[in-house]
DNA sequence: CGACAAAGTGAGAATGAGTCTCATTTACTA
DNA sequence: TAGTAAATGAGACTCATTCTCACTTTGTCG
């Protein structure tokens, strides 16, 4: 396990505690599962990985983590949403999805972030944004 | 019905014909419904609007139109996808979604398009992109 | 003009993701 | 240690989407 994962895990546990929530084994396992991934996973993938943890618990844990800003929901273009840990530093990335095989890769782009930051829309208070690029990966070409 | 809608409708019908597909009333009604909208609608909204047209037919028609590049699928953050006609001129927009009431508004931004156009990713052949901004609309603040 | 094959169709069953309920268990705190 | 609020797992449920299938329409070829 890399340092960053340890950081995110303990950061998440602290924030959970600060929010007045109790410690729990099943939720801890969901947090671990998210910590060990570089990019988005679906709720059902996590559920399948964690034997003995109920589906409802996985969804509940993800929801709580999302409310605390520890996890973000990302649309991968398919039928299910993906969820991934949010870097405490505020650093974030977007996604490239291969429309043939479904593979997802993270990417970052400074110019893109700036362009989005410069968008102002009358009456709308922007809170977050999501960019998904679609195409074909090397393997599928 | 505005000129642009007429154009898109007949353009769509021609492309359907070119693709070797047969003429049909129900699919024609789905095309009309899409033509009459400025922004995305869900498949079930279209289905509900068109009495006498089966759900399967609505989904099939949308799928065919999507394959022909006449319609694009957009993620509105909710549980269902939206579908909207693609302007034959290549002109396109993205979406701002109010996370409280679910309202969707289109927006365009030249700088954003350029930033996306400049992204090159080794091994990936980019085909399309999707940008969704989230926040709160005037009514919900 | 038929007649036939391919495309199209609607009803409803099936699937898949996500949500809800509820009886039971667990973690904190007084 | 008792009380209570949070947490849990099983499974029922909802909603969007896909699939199946028997039947109808379209277009073309003889």
Q: What is the CATH number of the domain that holds A80?
A: 1.10.10.10
pLDDT at residue B62, as a whole number: 98
Do B52 and B81 lie in one domain? The reply is yes
Do B109 and B81 lie in one domain? The reply is no
Query: Could you tell me if residue A123 is left (phi over 0), alpha (psi between -120 and 50 degrees) or otherwise beta?
Result: left
Interface A–B counts its CB contacts (< 8 A) at 106
Cβ contact B124:B86 at 8 Å: no
Do B63 and B113 lie in one domain? The reply is no
On average, the pLDDT of chain A sits at: 90
Q: Give the model confidence (pLDDT) of B88-140 as tens digits.
A: 888 889 999 888 787 888 999 999 999 999 998 888 999 888 898 988 888 88
Q: How far is the CA of B132 from the C1' of C17 (A)?
A: 22
Query: Could you say which of B107, B125, B134 has the minimum Cβ distance to residue A136?
Result: B125
What is the C-alpha separation between B49 and B46, in angstroms, rounded? 5
Encode A60-87 in three state secondary structure: HHHHHHHHCCCEEEEECCCCCEEEEECC
Query: Could you say which of A111, A119, A131 has the minimum Cβ distance to residue B109?
Result: A119
| Interchain CB distance below 8 Å, B124 and A111 | no
Lowest mean pLDDT among A108-112, B58-62, B68-72, B128-132: B128-132
Cβ contact A87:A8 at 8 Å: yes
Do B124 and B63 lie in one domain? The reply is no
Query: Mean pLDDT, to the nearest integer, of A50-78?
Result: 93
Placement of tokens 């396990």 in the chain: A1
**Among B85, B105, B127, which residue terminates a domain?**
B85
Token output for A2: 């890399």
Banded model confidence at residue A79, pLDDT cuts 50, 70, 90: confident
What pairing do the DSSP bridges indicate for beta strands B71-75 and A81-85? unpaired
Orientation of helix B25-35 relative to helix B55-67, angle to 10°: 70
Helices (H) and strands (E) in chain B, counts: 5, 6
Q: Per DSSP, what are the bridge partners of residue B41?
A: B83
Q: Per DSSP, what are the bridge partners of residue A41?
A: A83
Cβ contact A94:A132 at 8 Å: yes
Is the per-residue pLDDT at A68 higher than 70? yes
Using an 8 Å CB-CB cutoff, list chain A residues near B105. Answer: 121, 124
Is the per-residue pLDDT at B55 higher than 70? yes
Q: Does A112 touch chain B (CB under 8 A)?
A: yes
pLDDT at residue B3, as a whole number: 66
Q: How many domains does the structure of chain A reveal?
A: 2
Query: Mean pLDDT, to the nearest integer, of A94-117?
Result: 89
Token output for A39: 């990019």
What is the C-alpha separation between A81 and A65, in angstroms, rounded? 15
Other Cβ atoms closer than 10 A to A23: 9
Do A26 and A80 lie in one domain? The reply is yes
Q: Does B52 touch chain A (CB under 8 A)?
A: no
Using an 8 Å CB-CB cutoff, list chain B residues near A115. Answer: 109, 111-112, 114-115
Banded model confidence at residue A23, pLDDT cuts 50, 70, 90: very high
Q: How far is the CA of A22 from the C1' of C25 (A)?
A: 14
**Phi and psi of A20, rounded to 5°?**
85, 15
CATH number at residue B123: 3.30.1490.190
Do A42 and A61 lie in one domain? The reply is yes
Query: Mean pLDDT, to the nearest integer, of B43-65?
Result: 97
What is the C-alpha separation between A112 and B112, in angstroms, rounded? 6
pLDDT at residue A20, as a whole number: 95
**CB B41 under 7 Å to nucleic chain C:** no
Do B21 and B55 lie in one domain? The reply is yes
Q: Which residue has the higher pLDDT, B101 or A1?
A: B101
Do B81 and B107 lie in one domain? The reply is no
**Among B65, B85, B105, which residue terminates a domain?**
B85
Best mutation target among A124, A126, A127 (most B Cβ atoms within 10 Å) is A124
Do B136 and B98 lie in one domain? The reply is yes
pLDDT at residue A34, as a whole number: 97
How far separated are the first and last CA of chain B, in Å rounded?
34
Q: Identify the domain containing residue A68 by its residue range.
A: 3-85
Banded model confidence at residue B10, pLDDT cuts 50, 70, 90: very high
Query: Mean pLDDT, to the nearest integer, of B71-96?
Result: 88
Do B132 and B76 lie in one domain? The reply is no
Do A7 and A62 lie in one domain? The reply is yes
Query: Mean pLDDT, to the nearest integer, of B67-85?
Result: 90
């Amino acid at each position: 396990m890399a340092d960053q994962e340890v950081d995110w895990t303990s950061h998440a546990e602290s924030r959970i505690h600060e929010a007045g929530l109790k410690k729990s084994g099943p939720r801890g396992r969901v947090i671990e599962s998210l910590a060990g991934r570089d990019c988005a996973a679906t709720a059902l993938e996590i559920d399948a990985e964690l034997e003995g943890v109920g589906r409802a618990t996985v969804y509940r844990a993800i929801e709580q983590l999302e409310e605390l800003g520890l996890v973000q929901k990302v649309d991968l273009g398919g039928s299910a949403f993906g969820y991934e840990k949010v870097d405490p530093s505020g650093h974030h990335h977007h996604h490239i999805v291969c429309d043939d095989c479904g593979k997802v890769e993270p990417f970052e782009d400074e110019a893109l972030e700036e362009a989005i930051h410069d968008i102002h829309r009358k009456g709308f208070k922007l809170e977050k944004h999501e960019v998904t690029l679609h195409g074909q990966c090397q393997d599928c070409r």
